[in-house]
A and B are shown apart, each in its own frame.
Chain A
Amino acid sequence: GQQLNQSPQSMFIQEGEDVSMNCTSSSIFNTWLWYKQDPGEGPVLLIALYKAGELTSNGRLTAQFGITRKDSFLNISASIPSDVGIYFCAGTTSGTYKYIFGTGTRLKVLA
């Protein structure tokens, strides 16, 4: 099935550093969601975005709905060890109710 491209695929960062990741699509999206998945568990919703240009925060996390509606960004400030996991973006296009998931960004934090 169709997938969204996420970048980077994986990253190692030092504790305390800021993290940025993005998600891109060839199609225009109406909704963007960001999830975090820990090993062996289901994804947990972090942030939901519904309007182009929207910038939303959830604690140390900030996500933006790209102006072109073909991308979204997630930033994590002052990373901590529990930020380790896989981050997925997901989105819906006009006329469909199904969410397409990104390829994932695997985050590893070095203490």
Chain B
Amino acid sequence: GAVVSQHPSWVICKSGTSVKIECRSLDFQATTMFWYRQFPKQSLMLMATSNEGSKATYEQGVEKDKFLINHASLTLSTLTVTSAHPEDSSFYICSAREGFDNSPLHFGNGTRLTVT
């Protein structure tokens, strides 16, 4: 149980284009999903909290106009990297929480974004 699917697993795009990453909870409903970014050999840094039916909450220093988050249903959240630049290249990982506030996070397999 508690499976989170993330798609695509990797993507290469040209500078200036936009990329959408999907995160789905397959066997549970997730009122809250979290988007993380991970640089090589570093820890996971929280970018934003995605709440179903409401606006996402962004962490300090994360540009909300660049990283658009939509949590349209209890099983789907999307992250769109707009006008991507090479410095946006990174490993993006989503996670979903099934129940109460401190229930564990279940992670997708991540998306490797490379902007050329």
Q: Is B one of A's binding partners? A: yes
- Using CB atoms and an 8 Å cutoff, list the residues of chain A in contact with chain B: 1, 3, 30-31, 33, 35, 40-45, 48, 50, 88, 90, 92, 97-104
- Using CB atoms and an 8 Å cutoff, list the residues of chain B in contact with chain A: 4, 6, 32, 34, 36, 42-46, 49, 59-60, 91, 93, 95, 97, 101-102, 104-110, 112
**Chain B interface SS verdict (over half):** strand
Residue from A1, A31, A33, A48 in contact with B59 in the complex, judged by beta carbons closer than 8 Å: A1
Residue from A30, A41, A103 in contact with B102 in the complex, judged by beta carbons closer than 8 Å: A30
Answer whether A97 and B101 are a contact pair too, CB < 8 Å, given A1-B59, A40-B110, A41-B110. Answer: yes
A98 contacts B49, C-beta separation under 8 Å: yes
Would you mind naming 28 contact pairs between A and B with Cβ atoms under 8 Å apart?
A1-B45, A1-B46, A1-B59, A3-B43, A30-B102, A31-B102, A40-B91, A40-B110, A40-B112, A41-B109, A42-B4, A42-B109, A42-B110, A43-B107, A45-B105, A45-B106, A92-B101, A92-B102, A97-B49, A97-B97, A97-B102, A98-B34, A98-B46, A98-B49, A99-B46, A99-B105, A100-B46, A101-B44
A42 contacts B43, C-beta separation under 8 Å: no
| A31 contact set on B, CB distance < 8 A | 102
A42 contacts B108, C-beta separation under 8 Å: yes
Question: What's the minimum C-beta distance from A88 to chain B, rounded to whole angstroms?
Answer: 7
| B49 contact set on A, CB distance < 8 A | 97-98
